[in-house]
């Protein structure tokens, strides 16, 4: 569990009202078309490296939502993604965003060469940190209380401030852990680096009507080398490839020898 230290600030009521008056943009996805993320289709392969982009409405299953401490039992799965920290005069509020991409379509034993989280920032005046969520959650039922701050405090990436622009974030290490199975894929948690009053960072969610503005995750990977036709693919003490080239199956023959034979 990860907790934050509350910081008392002497923010005046006028400033507090100004902060609260910032419109929470709806998820209808209006915005400058020229700044939209270029829509990416399915798999692309180059020099043995396969790249695939996961994005709601394009490829794969994607979940995203905001959780808010001020309304700890409310769910915001159908709204945009907000990240902020507000602490004016005895009232503390924190909003965090959760995102999860289903990566089960990526083959086993691949090497992840790169992974890039793609977000469209409507407004972002503070740095946003990326963490690994450590508990399962559902987009349309999770709340601040039910999630209970179950994320790893280690910062896996930082998104610098920007507005009305695409944010490309290197998350290769974390995604590699998910694909290898060394870490359960419970998704990303976005938090703010601010420790005092911060103006909300707002990102388009999967509900944006502009598909290109929805959160995306591009993963590029190299498949494992596979044994040649009729070659060895297993057996006691075998340290070589355990998969077979197209049309062949690794077939058990003895404890000491498995061979790539026609499937």
CA distances from 119 to 39, 45, 91, 157, 186 (A): 13, 23, 29, 13, 18
For each successive 10 residues of the chain (263 residues), what is the average pLDDT? 36 35 38 36 59 96 96 96 79 91 91 96 93 98 98 96 92 97 97 81 96 97 86 91 84 96 87
Q: What's the confidence (pLDDT) of residue 40?
A: 44
Q: What's the confidence (pLDDT) of residue 43?
A: 56
Q: Does pTM surpass 0.85?
A: no
Cβ neighbours around 140 below 10 Å, total: 10
């Amino acid at each position: 569990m990860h907790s934050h230290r509350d910081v008392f600030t002497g923010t005046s009521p006028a400033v507090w009202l100004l902060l609260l008056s910032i419109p929470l943009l709806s998820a209808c996805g209006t915005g400058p078309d020229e700044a939209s993320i270029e829509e990416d289709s399915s798999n692309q392969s180059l020099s043995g490296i396969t790249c695939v982009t996961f994005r709601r409405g394009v490829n794969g299953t994607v979940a995203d939502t905001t959780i808010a401490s001020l309304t700890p039992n409310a769910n915001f799965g159908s709204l945009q993604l907000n990240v902020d920290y507000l602490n004016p005069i005895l009232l503390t509020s924190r909003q965090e965003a959760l995102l999860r991409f289903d990566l089960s379509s990526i083959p086993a034993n691949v090497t992840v060469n790169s992974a890039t989280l793609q977000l469209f920032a409507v407004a972002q005046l503070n740095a946003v940190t990326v963490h690994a969520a450590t508990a399962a959650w559902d987009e349309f039922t999770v709340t601040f209380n039910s999630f209970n701050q179950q994320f790893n405090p280690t910062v896996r990436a930082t998104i610098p401030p920007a507005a009305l622009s695409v944010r490309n974030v290197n998350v290769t290490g974390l995604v590699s852990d998910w694909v290898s199975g060394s870490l359960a894929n419970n998704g990303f948690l976005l938090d703010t680096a601010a420790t005092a009053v911060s103006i909300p960072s707002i990102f388009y969610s999967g509900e944006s009507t502009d598909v290109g503005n929805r959160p995306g995750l591009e993963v590029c990977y190299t498949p494992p080398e596979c044994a040649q036709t009729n070659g060895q693919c297993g057996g006691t003490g075998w340290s070589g490839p355990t998969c077979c080239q197209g049309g062949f199956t690794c077939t058990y023959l003895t404890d000491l020898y498995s061979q790539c034979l026609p499937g």
